[in-house]
Chains A and B, each alone.
Chain A
Amino acid sequence: MISAISTNLPVFIIIAPLFVAFVLPTLAKRKRLVENLVLSVEVLMLLGICYLASIVLFRKDIPIIYQMGGWPAPWGIELKVGSLGTFFLLTIAIVSLPVALFARGNLTHEVGGKERIARFYVLYLLLVGALAGMALTNDLFNVYVLVEVATLSCCGLVSARNHPRAAKATFTYLILATLGSCLVMGGIGFIYIITGHLNMEFASRELSIIWQNNPRVVWMAFSFMLVGFGVKSALFPLHVWLPDAHSVAPSPASAILSGLAVKGYIICLLKVLYNVFGQTLMQAYSVHKILVLVGMVAIIAGSISALTQKELKRRLAFSTVAQVGYIFLGFGLLNTRGLAGALFYLASHAVIKSTLFLSAAAMQTATGKKEIKDLSGIGRKMPITAAAFTVSSLGLTGIPLFSGFVGKWNLLQGSMESGSILPISVIIAGSVLCGAYLFPVIRIAYFETAPEKDWKDPNLPQKLALILLSAVIVVLGVVPGPFLELANRAAAELLVLR
């Protein structure tokens, strides 16, 4: 029994949340049970993922290939448990568990009655399952299916709050995301037409032989993939849906959307770029230069748009656009340092942005105010929330001791290795701009006098979630050890010339 579980662990990690998601509606009346079930699935996932990570870190025979139903590739579907997969799985588990904890204390206020809460959790678990699938899958068509599952559950999550603005934001998101899915589908189609394979390994092998016969098709596939995943991961200027969607969603949803969902698509794009097309093709088509360029534009443009926002949640949403730029920039550097930096930054941003959104939501709930200027003096009245916000702001700005710095340091080293000075200056300028849009919030929170109102820290589960996430930010910043090691290995594996 034990051995059956441990050999089938990869698939259990994906199936467990999906399965529980389908059971939840039948238990909708029993709110406590639903919440406990969700939390226990999250905890089990975390344990399973830690076990996988320990195997990946300490055993030599990786990646572990899991064949679904025992069918070998290219006929069957494969799950690949490599460094990249485990790295992203760990990120998912570390972020989604505290967010679920936060949701437990918060949803009645933001979403409504029992039925609606159960529906929220269904979507939440579907999203988590889909993301876990994205981390492990080694099959192009699976990527498409998972992307669709994730997209639809994201749309559901955005509209979970009963509000006209939510409906409008969801509609915009749905249209654009569907467009993105279509493009991704098209890209997969092009690859399938010329290679005849959907398994990434086989497609890649075939592609490296025949790409010169069909240069235009490959170019189309590249561009469809880039734009398709670019829309979904809010790459500037394809980000137009994001600020509305992320700022009107209920707070746990906006945390997971900004923190994880966007990252899932980025991981998919990364797999397609490096595992299917491969480094040689990227260089042949100068895709890496495009990535660096769009990354730099996103950093600057996103940061400047964030500066102009007056609503806290919108400012955070625009900041996501900027931070995604760092990740794309790192993907284009084509060296281990830069890629590892981008991956670490991805994980670090997932944790930091969730913390920011959750603490912003807690402030918003307590005060009923959306704008930054109305938060004066909140640092004294809600010490834990404001402290979490401060820690994550420092992390996002890239101050040493916090996780963002480790990512940025590696990104800078990577840019240095690639020999161009422009990315370095953009990364630094982005950090300064990030300070410029986050510190006013901290200043207002701590150094302005509070109105005579009864603002309090949120209830226990929410506080616990904030503390957990802040602790992760500091721990990753001080002792990134195994996490950075996984990122390094993943980067090295992705960059192996095939």
Chain B
Amino acid sequence: MLSLVIALFSGAVGGLVVAMIPETKNRLRNYIVLLFAASSAFFTWHTALKVFAGERVRVAGELGGLAFSIDPDPLGAVFGLIASTLWLFTAVYSFGYMAGKHKQRTFFTFFLMSLTMTLGVAFSGNLVALYLFYELLTFATYPLVIHERSAEAMKAGTKYILYSLSGAGAILIAIIFTYAWSGKLDFSSGPMLANSLGPGLNWLLMLFIGGFGVKAAIMPLHRWLPAAMAAPTPVSALLHAVAVVYSGVYGILRTVYSVFGHELIGQLEIRYILPWTAAITIVAGIVIAARQDVLKRRLAYQTVSHLSYILLGAFTLNAWGLAGAIFHMISYSTLKITLFFCAGIISEQTGVIKVSKIGGIGRLLPKTMAAFSIATMGMIGMLPLNTFWGKYYLMKGSVEAGKWPLAVVLIISGILNAICFVPAIVNAFNRVSTKTCEEKGSRVSLMLAPTLALVMIALFIGLMPGIIWPGVEAVVNWFY
């Protein structure tokens, strides 16, 4: 229980401590950020392993007259592990990326604050806690989105807040209805609405998915995400490819498995539509991505597409689909962060932000581009990478659900991913660039080290998928 509390609040406390440190003391600040991020990661692992072993770790109380509980189950533990571990890598990357940039104190304060909010979403034990942290996450990440303070960033920030608040509003309505119909808010006691059946349930599910779908960037609710690329690269990498968008995806997984239950959804008419909304987003996202010239925007649309892989897995409503979703959630996050990290290194070292200008970069920044290429292979779903396994189980789930066209969609999406990035990579290694720059110096190594480490981890998981299987299995067994 103590470890849960420490894991959860390390970020918030760290944020407060960082806020006290003067702007000029960068070194000290970095050490403190690292300390708190590491403590959060360590205690999250500690808690998660206990949860996987079947132990119940729970903190409950009352908030504003409502029951409030922090009670991670295996799904929450997996999300918590992804977030807190990647936070540590991103922290190191940020030390390099942010060096010499303005307003570092603000950046790291909210960087740590967001960690607490994300873990809060992950560990929430009932809808009240989930809603609270989901809402707070919006506010904690807003300063990061507008960090550049340019007109573009300000506009992106406003868009982000309005989209998120509207989504949260929809969720609040949905929670009210759930509570009125079932009288329950807790995740632990099985699906809340399990015994209710009525025509309103279709609408309620749509309300939930519409609300969480804002952060999960389901089309057409995705517009804020490409705009939010105005943020510094570590933020785009961690929050807009993993933490924030995953909180939306996580919310939908919760809705499907803890609020409704897969058995109930299996009886609703809406089950015919759901996988196809995900499929449309998968294809449309990557097609739009291919038309973007700015690298970060291209990656953002790819995120839109890949998030729906996870949703597709959830919407197939069978165990293989869920296993695929969880697998993809873990493996996609490592690789997507890598891609963004590389984009950040490229733009910092050479000033290139467009795909059309990428020619020759591979010669200047060989390690970065190598990492980028490997990660792209992962996005396509090729074998030595971890994402292959996720995709494999997703297809298996689709076929099991009797919807083989979904498996075809996944294959097509893999090809589209290749069309989207492979020519650029070939270009990067073939041509000779007119620019001069080096892949040396402490700043670059701070950025490069986490990037390469993540690629290694992805390869390692790809070669030995068994090591994350117990976690996936725990989640699947929990719900099936």
Q: Answer yes or no: are A and B bound together in one complex.
A: yes
The reply to whether A400 and B173 form a contact with Cβ atoms under 8 Å apart is no
Docked pose: A228 CA to B405 CA in angstroms: 66
Known: A406-B64, A435-B161, A480-B65. A447 touches B176 (CB 8 A): no
Nearest B residue to A484 via CB reads B65
Docked pose: A484 CA to B136 CA in angstroms: 24
Chain A 455-492, CB within 8 Å of chain B: the 1/0 string? 00000000000000000000001111100100000000
**A27-35, A101-109, A321-329, A409-417 - the one binding chain B:** A409-417
Option from B65, B157, B176, B179 in Cβ contact (under 8 Å) with A443: B157
The reply to whether B169 and A431 form a contact with Cβ atoms under 8 Å apart is yes
Docked pose: A448 CA to B146 CA in angstroms: 10
Which residues of chain B have C-beta atoms less than 8 A from A429's C-beta? 169
Nearest A residue to B176 via CB reads A412
Which residues of chain B have C-beta atoms less than 8 A from A416's C-beta? 176-177, 180
Nearest A residue to B171 via CB reads A428
Q: Does B149 contact A (CB under 8 A)?
A: yes
Docked pose: A447 CA to B139 CA in angstroms: 13
Q: Does B356 contact A (CB under 8 A)?
A: no
Nearest B residue to A403 via CB reads B64
Which residues of chain A have C-beta atoms less than 8 A from B157's C-beta? 443
The reply to whether B64 and A400 form a contact with Cβ atoms under 8 Å apart is yes
Which residues of chain B have C-beta atoms less than 8 A from A405's C-beta? 64
Nearest A residue to B203 via CB reads A421
Known: A424-B173, A435-B165, A447-B143. A399 touches B135 (CB 8 A): yes
Identify which of A399, A400, A424, A448 gathers the most chain B CB atoms within 10 Å of its CB: A400
Q: Does B6 contact A (CB under 8 A)?
A: no
Nearest CB of A to B142, in Å: 8
Chain B 147-159, CB within 8 Å of chain A: the 1/0 string? 0010000100110
Q: Does B128 contact A (CB under 8 A)?
A: yes
Nearest B residue to A429 via CB reads B169
The reply to whether A436 and B136 form a contact with Cβ atoms under 8 Å apart is no
Which residues of chain B have C-beta atoms less than 8 A from A413's C-beta? 176, 179-180
Which residues of chain B have C-beta atoms less than 8 A from A477's C-beta? 64
Known: A400-B135, A443-B157. A406 touches B169 (CB 8 A): no
Q: Does A286 contact B (CB under 8 A)?
A: no
Which residues of chain A have C-beta atoms less than 8 A from B182's C-beta? none
Q: Does B123 contact A (CB under 8 A)?
A: no
The reply to whether B65 and A412 form a contact with Cβ atoms under 8 Å apart is no
Which residues of chain B have C-beta atoms less than 8 A from A436's C-beta? 162, 165
The reply to whether B63 and A432 form a contact with Cβ atoms under 8 Å apart is no
Docked pose: A439 CA to B166 CA in angstroms: 14
Which residues of chain B have C-beta atoms less than 8 A from A431's C-beta? 165, 169
Which residues of chain B have C-beta atoms less than 8 A from A440's C-beta? 158
Q: Does A36 contact B (CB under 8 A)?
A: no
Which residues of chain B have C-beta atoms less than 8 A from A428's C-beta? 169-170, 172-173
Docked pose: A447 CA to B165 CA in angstroms: 19
Nearest CB of A to B151, in Å: 12
The reply to whether B180 and A409 form a contact with Cβ atoms under 8 Å apart is no
Nearest CB of B to A172, in Å: 35
Chain A 384-414, CB within 8 Å of chain B: the 1/0 string? 0000000000100001110101100100110
Docked pose: A149 CA to B179 CA in angstroms: 45
Identify which of B136, B176, B179 gathers the most chain A CB atoms within 10 Å of its CB: B176
Q: Does B66 contact A (CB under 8 A)?
A: yes
Chain B 66-78, CB within 8 Å of chain A: the 1/0 string? 1000000000000
Identify which of A409, A425, A446 gathers the most chain B CB atoms within 10 Å of its CB: A409
Docked pose: A254 CA to B251 CA in angstroms: 42
Docked pose: A416 CA to B172 CA in angstroms: 12
Docked pose: A247 CA to B158 CA in angstroms: 27
The reply to whether A425 and B173 form a contact with Cβ atoms under 8 Å apart is yes
Q: Does B341 contact A (CB under 8 A)?
A: no
Known: A399-B135, A447-B149, A477-B64. A432 touches B166 (CB 8 A): yes
26 example contacts (A-B, Cβ-Cβ < 8 A) are as follows A399-B135, A400-B131, A400-B132, A401-B132, A403-B64, A406-B65, A412-B173, A413-B176, A413-B180, A416-B176, A416-B177, A425-B173, A428-B169, A428-B170, A428-B173, A431-B169, A432-B162, A432-B165, A432-B166, A435-B161, A435-B165, A436-B165, A440-B158, A443-B146, A446-B143, A479-B62
Binding site for A on B (CB under 8 A): 62-66, 128, 131-132, 135-136, 139, 143, 146, 149, 154, 157-158, 161-162, 165-166, 169-170, 172-173, 176-177, 179-180
Give 10 closest A-B pairs by Cβ, nearest first: A428-B169, A400-B132, A406-B64, A416-B180, A412-B176, A435-B165, A432-B165, A432-B169, A484-B65, A480-B65
Known A432-B166, A477-B64; 18 more pairs at CB < 8 Å: A399-B136, A400-B135, A403-B64, A409-B64, A409-B176, A424-B176, A428-B169, A429-B169, A431-B165, A432-B165, A435-B161, A436-B162, A440-B158, A443-B157, A447-B143, A447-B146, A447-B154, A478-B63
